[in-house]
């Protein structure tokens, strides 16, 4: 397993691009012969579920959903999340040809019909506005905030540069502004701290932003992994009902992810898991015990 320390250190230093084979992901989509009829009434405005603020209004932190084993009617759930990392100072590397995006991964998730959540940096949306917009427009996916700069929100976070406390809220708002500029409609009010690093000071600083911080309970270990089988095994060993898995959507820093996903998805479905977006996990975390499906148990 690649340690997070190595992952972030290497994230900051890697300068070479890796290109994934596209053969498995280039199958044409089946055309829609009969477009769905327009709804008779306009859809209701959807308010995404969030967690209640913590003490003194602090930003709440979500890590995983209830460990409900699930039933035939209400299968156990797992959320795959993909961090679309690009750091504020990586523009010259992108200009030199390094790929921080991963269109093959996005296509595979579509082909396999896997609801997923993308935590995108504002800088990534600036670099890849068409992809950001397409991901945001796809009902299969949701886009959430991974900061503008991908700088750390604590003083010591795997060697990442640090955002001062007074600039934290601005950095998050700047990412939302970049999403709007790229044409991403309705990004979710969820925030993933770069490196997963946060403390009480950061939670207080982000309170006015009204976001729910989203961590994870399963590290995919895909950063700089070259063996998709090892990534798949690590995910499959770690997933429990309600898990949130962190993976990456960037070819240069996570070149094996797309191939790993091709293994992970059918295996978890065989085990009875249903893939959901983080918003559904958060909604489930807010659901009182009494409203869970009959026969559901905890582990
Ligand atoms: Zn990240």
Whether 195 and 8 have beta carbons less than 8 Å apart is answered as yes
**Is 112 among the domain residues?**
yes
Q: What is the mean pLDDT of residues 95-124?
A: 97
List, for residues 136-162, the tens digit of each pLDDT value. 999 999 999 999 999 999 999 999 999
| The total number of structural domains that make up the chain | 1
The range of the structural domain enclosing residue 260 comes to 83-291
Tell me how far apart the alpha carbons of residues 211 and 254 are, in angstroms, rounded to a whole number.
27
Predicted pLDDT at 45: 62
Closest CA to 194 of 141, 121, 136: 121
Ligand 1 centroid – CA 132 distance (Å): 16
Ligand 1 centroid – CA 73 distance (Å): 35
Greater confidence (37 vs 275) lies with 275
The CATH number of residue 187's host domain is: 3.20.20.370
**Is 51 among the domain residues?**
no
Ligand 1 centroid – CA 83 distance (Å): 5
Whether 190 and 211 have beta carbons less than 8 Å apart is answered as yes
Handedness of CA 265, 30, 278, 118 (dihedral sign): positive
* 273 Cα distance to chain centroid: 18
Q: Is the pLDDT of residue 30 over 90?
A: no
Q: Largest Cα–Cα distance in the chain?
A: 56
**Is 136 among the domain residues?**
yes
Tell me how far apart the alpha carbons of residues 264 and 36 are, in angstroms, rounded to a whole number.
31
Ligand 1 centroid – CA 147 distance (Å): 9
Ligand 1 centroid – CA 149 distance (Å): 10
Ligand 1 centroid – CA 298 distance (Å): 31
List, for residues 45-59, the tens digit of each pLDDT value. 678 999 999 998 999
Ligand 1 centroid – CA 284 distance (Å): 25
Greater confidence (130 vs 56) lies with 130
Q: Place 293 in a pLDDT band, splitting at 50, 70 and 90.
A: very low
Q: Is the pLDDT of residue 32 over 70?
A: no
Predicted pLDDT at 146: 98
**Is 46 among the domain residues?**
no
Going from the C-alpha of 92 to that of each of 19, 86, 88, 95, 124, the distances in angstroms are 18, 11, 10, 5, 13
Q: Is the pLDDT of residue 9 over 50?
A: no
Ligand 1 centroid – CA 218 distance (Å): 15
**Is 266 among the domain residues?**
yes
């Amino acid at each position: 397993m690649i340690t997070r320390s190595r992952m972030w250190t290497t994230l900051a230093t890697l300068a070479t691009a890796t290109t994934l084979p596209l053969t498995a992901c280039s199958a044409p989509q089946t055309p829609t012969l009969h477009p769905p009829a327009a709804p008779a009434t306009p859809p209701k405005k959807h308010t995404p579920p969030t967690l209640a603020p913590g003490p003194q209004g602090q930003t709440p932190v979500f890590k995983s959903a209830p460990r409900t084993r699930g039933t035939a009617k209400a299968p156990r759930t797992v959320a795959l999340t993909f961090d679309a990392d690009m750091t504020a100072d990586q523009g010259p590397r992108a200009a030199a040809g390094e790929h921080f995006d991963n269109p093959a991964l996005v296509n595979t998730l579509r082909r396999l019909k896997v609801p997923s959540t993308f935590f995108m940096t504002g800088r990534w949306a600036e670099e890849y506005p068409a992809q950001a917009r397409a991901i945001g427009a796809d009902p299969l996916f949701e886009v959430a905030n991974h900061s503008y700069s991908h700088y750390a929100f604590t003083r010591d976070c795997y060697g990442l540069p640090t955002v001062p406390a007074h600039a934290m809220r601005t950095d998050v708002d700047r990412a939302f502004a970049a999403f709007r500029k790229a044409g991403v409609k309705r990004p979710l009010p969820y925030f993933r701290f770069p490196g997963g690093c946060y403390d009480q000071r950061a939670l207080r600083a982000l309170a006015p932003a009204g976001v729910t911080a989203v961590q994870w309970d399963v590290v995919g270990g895909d950063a700089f992994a070259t063996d998709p089988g090892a990534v798949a095994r690590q995910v499959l060993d770690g997933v429990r009902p309600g898990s949130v898995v962190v993976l990456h959507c960037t070819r240069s820093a996570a070149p094996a992810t797309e191939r790993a996903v091709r293994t992970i998805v059918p295996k978890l479905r065989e085990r009875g898991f249903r893939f959901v977006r983080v918003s559904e996990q958060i909604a489930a975390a807010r659901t009182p015990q009494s409203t869970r499906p009959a026969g559901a148990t905890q582990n």
